[in-house]
Amino acid sequence: MNYIGEHLLPGQIGHFLTILALMASLIASIAYFKANKIVEPVERKTWIDFARKVFFVETLAVFAIFGLIVYIVANHYHEYFFAWNHSSRSLSSKYLLSCIWEDQSGSFLLWAIWHCVIGWVLIWKNKEWEAGTLFVINVAQFCIATMLLGIYFFGLKIGNNPFILWRNHMPDIPVFTNPDYLQLPRVYEGNDLNTLLQNYWMVIHPPILFLGFASTIVPFAFAFTGLMNKRHDWVKPVLPWTAFSAAILGTGIMMGAAWAYESLSFGGYWAWDPVENASLVPWLTLVAGLHVNLLYKNSGFSLRTTYFFYFITFTLILYSTFLTRSGILADTSVHAFTVDDKNLQAIYFQLLGFIALFFIPAMYLYIKQYKSIPTIQTEEKTYSREFWMFIGSLVLFLAGIVISAKTSTPVFNKIFGSNIAPPEDPEFAHNQIQIFVAMVVGLLTAVTQYLKYKDTPKAVFGKKILIPTIIAVIISLCISFFGGINYDKKGPVFLFAIHIAIFTAVYSVVANAAYIWIVLKGKLKFAGASVAHVGFGLVLVGILISSAKKTVLSWNTTGITPLTQEPKGKENPAENLTLFKTVPTDMGKYMVTWIRDTIDNIDHKRYFEIDFHAKDKSDSFKLYPDVMKNNKGMEGFSANPSAKHYWHKDIFGYITSFQENKANDTASFRNKVVKAGDTLFYGNGLIILNKVSVNPESQKSKLLEGEVSLFMDMTVISKDGRRYPVNPGVAIKGQSFRNINDTVRAQSLVLQFNKVVDQTSGKLEIGVKESAAITDLITLKVYEFPLINSLWIGIVVMVVGFGMSIKQRVGEKSTLKAV
């Protein structure tokens, strides 16, 4: 069959480039491996020059593949399954790149791009170690290239071809019996991007995170090359790379936390989601590796541990890839990839093979050469910096092990056929252990820098640390006694642990800030580590206080049980407030009103304007949470929160349900004759006519020029005791007569002033209509997060500290070369 309108050339070129990238990475791996083994300079240079040329071809191929995918998606070539499945013609162009990250092959391609960039920087800056490190990187590139093949090998599908035609990917779909299938509505429009990814954070978070993933291969490659060549002087040139990797990976993780805070409706920035954990654990071991690397550089201790931490970090990156992409976490994580059943076995073996290809050779060399790795036999003294830095690194490693074990429950169940159930409260399951990790790490980051390598006189240490300790104690006691931190949901022991952890976090901030002035005499050039530790302490302070004092503001005061769409385990009707359109509703210290809602024709989101007025008139603001209809076969809607940011807190709210009544209003008015003081009954309560006023000042805004008015002052009292003021009226101009009805939406009630029956007796006729068609309502959940900005500021400060450390290490290297 000849299909109409297909653009086959981009896919043909793309598939050729994929094969080219695969072969180039294999050839470059062999060439660099050969160069690394050769001692004779001329021959070694010949092999390196050849390897660089092949690596250049590989780089061009990888970037060209990316460019072709962008071209196909941007032009809506829906004959390609990639373009159809991850985009649509109505999708905003600002989410174009998010379409690429959504796909397995697209995110692997992003990883490959960063490997190419990193490889060329290594060639530029670390030529001495080029052969060994680029060998490792190109082996990884070969593995990643296989993820883009989409070919069958002994019945198993190897990778996912981003250039496969939709009709080849799913040939049994009836639409392909039509040669002009591209014009069919289902194909023409596209399957769209997952609603959760239609957020600006999803444009920038994945590239940063994958740069972090990709960069962890550099410490691994240096360590592996060191063992291959039986050289251990790699620990100095690797330090800037390790600091860079820790900074970028940490930034990427916290960008994901910011995305969760702004886009997901679990009410926060971290939920110990398995995919969150899978990225956090390698960061913990990488930071541990950075510290023991510094130990070896300055004292000669812990080289063996440095090797181990760098090997295990990249292995954990690969393991996190397995967890995320194998589909094993599809039922336990909100942002794990799903895998078709027919491809499940292949992706399992492929990802496990990826892990084994790096972990087994590295550990083989490590165990084989373990005894020959330089080490100092004497034990570190307890008043030495190296002793406590090692303890801190070990604590980070153990924290990672515990998190990995809890996260890997689905893997254990899969391998051993067990049925271990996840904890009922996964957040507390992690928090009850990690709170003690926070205590230890906070304390160690506070005091360790005041210790010298090898040994420190106790009097000197005590004198320097005394003032920061006193200040930290005073600040933390003020927080404990006056900060209102009374989180007693998990018992008094956990509450006490929170207060101790707050002290250690504050201690970390104060002690490291003081260290810059007390010990470094304000020399910021050497303060990178202290600045990073200040940032880390601020992160801990923000996490502890914002979590322990997280307060629900939207307690249900309407008496109406809301229908929420919150995730299972998060549903608590008492924490959701029902709002009727334009009706002010009591929410503790605020009066809250749903003003209106609008649909953005670009984002296809419905935005709700929610007005907050403090009862004491000290504050007023608006939130604009939105909802978007779910796609990709998911029912319901996706809710995106909105937050009002203050320097000391956030007010954070999102829609948990909404009801738009589109029914025709078929109800009619029931006419009643009343006079002032009379009471009427309606279905849910009673109506009292208080008085009738002529031209009342409060109703002037409802009148047109030249009109005079007559308004009823009425009170509606519902069965639950709620009172609603109502003012139906009439406007008169000459012989014309205009009704001004008033509505109590919360009671589905409309009142109309019909006429004056008897002016002498004061009898009036009013119309009463009860109609469900006028009732629009939403259910809102609102939190207050105290001091959450400490978390975000801490991240920035920590990254700045890493940057200062990188500059310092690069400067040290340049100085050594000059000498």
pLDDT in tens, 469-516: 999 999 999 999 999 898 888 899 999 999 999 999 999 999 999 999
Tell me what pLDDT residue 661 has. Answer: 66
Handedness of CA 415, 419, 420, 426 (dihedral sign): positive
pLDDT, average across residues 233-249: 95
818: confidence class by pLDDT, cuts 50, 70, 90: very low
Detail the DSSP E strand segments found in 293-366.
none
CA angle 595–599–602, rounded 5-degree value: 145
Per-residue confidence band for 819, with pLDDT thresholds at 50, 70 and 90: very low
What is residue 772's DSSP assignment? Answer: G
| 380, pLDDT greater than 50 | yes
Minimum mean pLDDT range among 27-31, 96-100, 120-124, 701-705: 701-705
* Pairwise CA distance, residues 100 & 85, whole Å: 10
Mean pLDDT confidence for 456-460: 90
Q: Hey, which residues does 729 pair with through a beta bridge?
A: 711, 740
Helix/strand/coil for 324: helix
What is the mean predicted confidence (pLDDT) over 403-429? Answer: 83
Q: Is the pLDDT of residue 67 over 60?
A: yes
Number of Cβ within a 10 Å radius of residue 307: 31
pLDDT given at position 814: 46
Mean pLDDT over the full length of the chain? 89
For residue 603, what pLDDT band results from cuts at 50, 70 and 90? confident
Q: Is 152 helix (H, G, I), strand (E, B) or coil?
A: strand
pLDDT digits (tens, 9 = 90+) for 405-417: 988 888 888 777 7
pLDDT at res. 571: 57
Two structure tokens written together for 800: 């700045």
Span 633-662, mean pLDDT?
Answer: 86
Q: Residue 392's pLDDT band (boundaries 50, 70, 90)?
A: very high
Least confident range of 335-344, 378-387, 781-790: 335-344
Query: Given pLDDT bands bounded at 50, 70 and 90, which one contains residue 387?
Result: very high
Question: Residue 361: pLDDT band by 50, 70, 90 thresholds?
Answer: very high
Of 293-297, 460-464, 665-669, 781-785, the least confident? 665-669
- Which of the pair, 370 or 738, is modelled with greater confidence? 370
Residue 766 C-alpha from the chain's centroid: 56
Name the more confident of 305 and 567: 305
pLDDT of residue 809: 81
Average pLDDT over residues 195-220: 93
- Mean local confidence (pLDDT), 308-315: 97
Say how many C-beta atoms besides its own lie within 10 A of residue 493's C-beta.
Answer: 9
Confirm if 161 and 146 have CB atoms less than 8 A apart: no
Length of the chain: 819
